[in-house]
Structure 1
């Protein structure tokens, strides 16, 4: 038996109600996270930006570290829900 076969664990579905096409905003919908803070690396593009949008929409104070702060600020400030 190979090392890969030994470490493989079969996945089982969980009854979360969410699937591969669920948007991040739907996951946090109706949840008050206004007392939370988060750091989202890569938060100014792709999945990171979608995460920032969902978290800020739920009231989270989000920090997005970036190599190009002006670009990140322009993108993320346009994504604010509040």
Structure 2
């Protein structure tokens, strides 16, 4: 599962975050733009709850901001929306 949120107010120049819940853990990709470009940083978490808590505490993302999108297909980047 993947989902992203556009930040209402930038935090340390971060304007968008995407969470990707994979079989290898959960990734949070950070972006310095709201455009559909590759992330500038990422974090790994053991659980979705940990990733969501990070986004809430550090980036002020609330549950209503999340937009669920399709997982990437084989060979596609995880941090780009296709």
TM band (smaller chain): under 0.3
The structure number with the bigger radius of gyration is 1
Q: Please state which structure has a larger fraction of its residues in helix.
A: 1
Higher relative CO (CA 8 A, sep ≥ 6), structure 1 or 2?
2
Q: Please state which structure has a larger fraction of its residues in strand.
A: 2
Question: TM-score normalised to the size of structure 2?
Answer: 0.23
